[in-house]
Amino acid sequence: MVSFYLFFGYHLDNDDDNGHILSFAQRSSAFLKGRLASSNKEHRHPRNDELSQDEDGESKSEDLEMGGKSLDFDDSMELKLAEHSVARERGNVAGLGDTSEDFTEGKHKPLQYQFDTSHMIFHKYHKGKSGQVVEEMLMGHAFIFHQNATYGGCCGAKTVKMAAHEELLEAIGLKDVLRFKCPSDFENDHKTRRSIIPRDHYVSEDIRVWTPEYVDYLRSLLVYPPKQHKEKTIVVHMLRGDASPCKPKHEGFYRYLPNFHYQTLITKYMQPDARVIIHTSPKSFEDLSEFRRRGYEVITDAPLKDTWKDFVTADVLIMSRSDFTMVPAMVAKGTVIYTPFWHHSLRRWKRVTKEIMEQTLEETERLRRDVCHLAI
């Protein structure tokens, strides 16, 4: 079992009703108690992902393709949180940015935390596609945040792909937050302990380490890019390429979402004169011409950095079942529409309704039954 040792620092902005500064431990107490009570069926507190809202504003937790099975939060993590929520006030102040929902470029209010500067923690670099690499970097960053240590960086042998990863980080304002550094890149001052955590320590918890407190902290550090379009935008990531309804489920879900699913959500959130931008791949199981006929922009060759800029500045971002949208959706300014899949949702995201998911599943099964055999 992976040990998850968590030491809470102090948040210097949040006061209680009596004007006292609240520690992480105090602010997390109710959250932890609620999650530890999840085994109590009569008084079950919803998980962080369950607190996302459906399109009608109601909390939803159904995962139809999982057959109604709930993706339970690992009790071992909750117990470690409860056992090791020791407040530690050491080191300097770190973390400046905007805590409000006004993330207009250039407008920032300080959000300050104290971290232990005598302990700098690094995490391992794992090769992969840029979206997945940055996602894992944020898992490591979140893990270190919860340890109340100073973030050292992502440590690994230099590769040509790191430049592409840094370009993506810069596109959404994270380059100054996440970095490729190892302990050997720092001078030994004999005062700072530097350590590298194994990858499985943070990856095993998936995005559940992205607690609401961490997400607020991370968003406060970003310098958001200027919006690339003057109109209101509905930006869609449509996973295509090798994705197909004919392939088996991945961790209980079909990776492929049919055209019907995306069009239903676009219609749901359409506003007068809104600009619909679909980022996808040239290769698609279903024809994409129906979207072009409606006047939508279907972009298949945009640089990844421009795609992520569209994601984080969109008025509405419609996610796919892909790691590629997880990071920009986490810090996006606008409304984020989440379709249930193997990654949990965040509290601020809107979850697609049960009714739409039923219709999507029916359409997926129709494609599998009527079309897949023709594609062989």
Do 79 and 160 lie in one domain? The reply is: yes
- The reply to whether 196 falls in a domain is yes
Q: How confident is the model at residue 297 (pLDDT cuts 50, 70, 90)?
A: very high
The pTM assigned to this predicted structure is 0.73
Residue 211 lies in a domain: yes
92 and 180 belong to one structural domain: yes
Predicted pLDDT of residue 189: 85
Whether residue 248 is found in the same domain as residue 182: no
When divided into structural domains, the chain yields a total of 2
d(CA 207, CA 138): 9
* 134 in the same domain as 109: yes
pLDDT tens for 311-330 read: 999 999 999 999 889 999 99
Q: Are residue 166 and residue 281 in the same domain, yes or no?
A: no
pLDDT at residue 256 greater than cutoff 50: yes
Token pair 């470029």 is found at 105
| 216 and 238 share one domain | no
> Do 237 and 215 share a structural domain?
no
Rounded average pLDDT over 206-218: 90
pLDDT score of 171 = 87
Percentage of the residues of the chain whose pLDDT score is greater than 90: 48
Looking at per-residue confidence, does 112 or 142 come out higher? 142
Tell me, yes or no, whether 150 lies in a domain. yes
Residue written as token pair 């005062």: 191
Report which of residues 73 and 212 the model is more confident about: 212
The last residue of a domain, from among 221, 249, 284: 221
Do the beta carbons of residue 329 and residue 319 sit within 8 Å?
yes
CB 290 within 8 A of CB 267: no
- Domain-located, residue 19: yes
Full domain range(s) for residue 15: 10-37+69-221
Residue 305 in any domain: the answer is: yes
**Residues in contact with 230: Cβ distance below 8 Å, sequence separation at least 6, in sequence order:** none
Q: In this structure, is residue 50 part of a structural domain?
A: no
| 64 or 374, greater pLDDT | 374
Other beta carbons within 10 angstroms of residue 79's beta carbon come to 14
Claim to verify: residue 266 and residue 197 sit in the same structural domain: no
Query: Which of 63-72, 134-143, 203-212, 231-240 is least confident?
Result: 63-72
Contacts of residue 199, Cβ cutoff 8 Å, sequence gap at least 6: 123, 124, 126, 136
CA-based torsion, 369, 323, 271, 296: positive or negative: negative
The answer to whether residues 74 and 196 belong to one domain is yes
Q: Can you tell me the mean pLDDT for 295-300?
A: 96
Length of the chain: 376
Check whether residue 75 and residue 199 sit in a common domain: yes
Residue 107 clears pLDDT 50, i.e. is over it: no
Please check whether residues 121 and 23 belong to one and the same domain: yes
Mean pLDDT, residues 143-156: 94
Q: What is the pLDDT of residue 93?
A: 30
Q: Which two tokens stand for residue 61?
A: 């937790």
User: Would the CA dihedral through 124, 130, 134, 136 be positive or negative?
Assistant: negative
Confidence of residue 225 (pLDDT cuts 50, 70, 90): confident
Domain boundary among 221, 252, 283: 221
CB < 8 Å & 24+ apart, contacts of 257-260: 257/320, 257/321, 257/339, 257/360, 257/364, 258/286, 258/360, 258/363, 258/364, 258/367, 259/286, 259/288, 259/290, 259/291, 260/359, 260/360, 260/363
Instruction: Please report whether residue 28 resides in a domain.
Output: yes
Among 199, 221, 243, give the residue marking a domain's end: 221
CATH code of residue 293: 3.40.50
- DSSP notation for 41-107: STTPPPPTGGGSEETTS-B----GGGTT---PPPHHHHHHHHHT------S-EE--S--SS---TT-
In a domain, 46, yes or no: no
Q: What does the pLDDT look like over 185-195, one tens digit per residue?
A: 998 888 899 99
**pLDDT over threshold 80, residue 254:** yes
Q: Are residues 160 and 237 in the same domain?
A: no
